[in-house]
Chains A and B, each alone.
Chain A
Amino acid sequence: MKRLSAGYRAFSLTTRVSLWIILLFAAAALFSPWLAPYPYERQNLPHRLEGWNRQHWMGYDELGRDILSRLLYGARVSLMVGVVVVVGSALLGTLVGAVSGYYRGWMDDVLMRVVDTLMAVPGILLAIAFVAFRGPGLTNLITALLLIGWVGYARLVRGEVLKVREFDFVQGVLASGASDRRVLWRHIFPNIVDPLVVQVSLGMAGAVMSEASLSFLGLGITPPTPSWGSMLNAARNHIFEAPHLTLFPGLAIMLLVLAFNFLGEGLRQLGNRPWGEHR
């Protein structure tokens, strides 16, 4: 707790603001059933495409549903997909990268060729291809994003492990007869957490964006579950008469992605400082 608050105090203003924005979105996601003024699927066709009023702060969508309620539930989808994808990719990538960088040898060669190949193709294209054939839906969406997500973590962790394992203290622990597992997790891992945390924060931005992209293309979350991406897709047909359908989900995505990018950037700058300055 003490270290946490010390870390928070070391944050710049923009990093703090981003952190609060993320927490705000997380709260919206967690408590959307209580926060949302209306059920997200309740239609009010006579009012379709109408702008805001006292009861409906962001107006109605193409089926007369309350946009604010749908945005709040959409936060749930975005963050849930983001967390699952990022945690899953980070775990898988860390495992692959750690094994690859620590043991080296033929396993490293094989794994890194796989990583190289996957990195040599635009990731989102593979995700689109996967979902196009598997069909849309939450499970396929998450699988597709995991499929392309772990690669970045694997390469990052491998590089860091390669570096840290040559440090004198690691060689010392190895010489004193510690097991590989102990050296990896107790001695090497704590030293690569910093760049990993930065990557996780930037990865959240990427995952939220990818989910929204796929849903925008009709390949992600299927209706009636609201997702910011699919809301924007539906809004396209009404861009002339009801631009607010585009505006609000667009702002939501922008704000959340921006906050994660700023947080990652702030954490990176913190990590770049000389040792001891922020501890």
Chain B
Amino acid sequence: MSIYLLRRLGLALVTLWGVVTFVFLLIHLIPGDPVESMLGEGARPDEIVAMRKSLGLDLSLSEQYRNYWSDLFRLELGTSFRTGETALKTLAQTYPATLQLTLCSMLLGIMIALPCGVLTARRQGSLFDSTVSLISLLGISVPHFVFGPLLIIALAIRWPLLPVSGMGRWTHLVLPAITLGTALAAVLTRMIRAAMISELARPYVVTAFAKGLKERRAIYLHALKNGLMPVVTILGLQFGGLLAGAIITETIFSWQGIGRLMIQSIQARDYPLIQGCILGISATYIVINLLTDLAYSLLDPRVRY
């Protein structure tokens, strides 16, 4: 158990190191001189020199890298070019909105996928099964930026039940959560179905049926508990899909979360803030996956790396 824990923690740390290095190197990916491209064409030479110095870009690459890490440990992610606020503060302001959206979407996705996945596994080959399979494949194939606007056209313009975009009341959350949540449900349904099918074929489930347990009891008490184990891991992995989807969904619905902040920063070439957003999203994903894997190994002691 403890060796597994250490290895899993090691992988998370290596990944985190990889992400930080990637984010650090991003500034050097800018074609030409990064400082000149940040300041625009009309910049004076002394401005360029001052900017380069203030960003530490006049140092050698290894010194820059060391400084980047020490800044990171002091939670200094730089200052936004656009607003002059620290990147950390701006991130902290938008982070809860993204968390709210992704968690609601996840809840919605599970609420749809769980019954659908279990029922289709139980009634394999039935009309219900093939219909759900078709819809879920459709759900996987419809990108957020198609489904979102279609929802707006239908539920906010044609039949104005919900607000088009923005934040404020809970009604603003409904359309973006449906956009993200149904896409997640499509993926989850297929996975829960597959997991349940293999679980229902296990001898202990057959025994449960054979000794005359009611179908409900056999499925929900015995098979579901074990069948859902791999789904826990999948949920963690799918959280990445949700975070990535949030970038697009927040843009569509003007939901002021970290994803929209990132796109706005990209458009404004606000590089420190872009880097902060990438770090924030990746770190969230890495931590969530670490936690799900640890939870999984607690739930199922057989798991070894």
Contacts and interface: CB of A to CB of B under 8 A. Distances in A.
Contacts of B164: 239
A253 B149 contact: no
A254 to B, nearest CB: 5
B11 interface: yes
A205 B141 contact: yes
Interface stretch (B20-28, B75-83, B167-175): B20-28
A125 B278 contact: yes
A216 B144 CA distance: 11
B145 A229 contact: yes
B137 A262 contact: yes
A122 B251 contact: no
A101 B281 CA distance: 32
A232 B262 CA distance: 20
A120 interface: yes
Contacts of A120: 11-12, 15, 285-286, 289
A113 B137 CA distance: 32
B22 A126 contact: yes
A236 B150 CA distance: 11
Contact of B157 (A209, A216, A240): A240
Interface residues of A, number: 44
A133 B27 CA distance: 7
Contacts of B286: 120-121
Given A129-B23, A133-B26, A121 B282 contact: yes
Given A117-B18, A216-B145, A122 B243 contact: yes
Contacts of A216: 145, 248
Interface of B: 11-12, 14-15, 18-19, 22-23, 26-27, 29-31, 137-138, 140-143, 145-146, 149-150, 152-153, 157, 164, 240-241, 243-244, 247-248, 251-252, 262-263, 266-267, 271, 274, 278, 281-282, 285-286, 289
Contacts of B153: 239, 243, 246-247
A128 interface: yes
Interface of A: 113, 116-118, 120-126, 128-130, 132-135, 205, 209, 212-213, 216-219, 229, 232-233, 235-236, 239-240, 243, 246-247, 250, 253-254, 257-258, 261-262, 265
Contacts of A243: 153, 157
A235 B22 CA distance: 34
A86 B29 CA distance: 24
Contacts, number: 122
B15 A258 contact: no
A217 B251 contact: yes
B243 to A, nearest CB: 6
Contacts of A209: 143
Residue in A125, A209, A219, A253 with the greatest tally of chain B CB atoms within 10 Å:
A125
Given A121-B282, A129-B23, A133-B30, A254 B244 contact: no
A205 B19 CA distance: 27
- Overall SS of chain A's interface: helix
A239 B278 contact: no
B241 A116 contact: no
Nearest to A256: B141
B145 A232 contact: yes
Contacts of A126: 22
A10 B30 CA distance: 50
A232 to B, nearest CB: 6
Contacts of B248: 213, 216-217
A250 B150 contact: yes
Given A116-B14, A257-B141, A258-B138, 11 more contacts: A120-B285, A120-B286, A121-B286, A123-B244, A124-B247, A129-B23, A129-B274, A130-B29, A133-B30, A217-B251, A243-B153
Contacts of A128: 247, 262, 266
B135 to A, nearest CB: 12
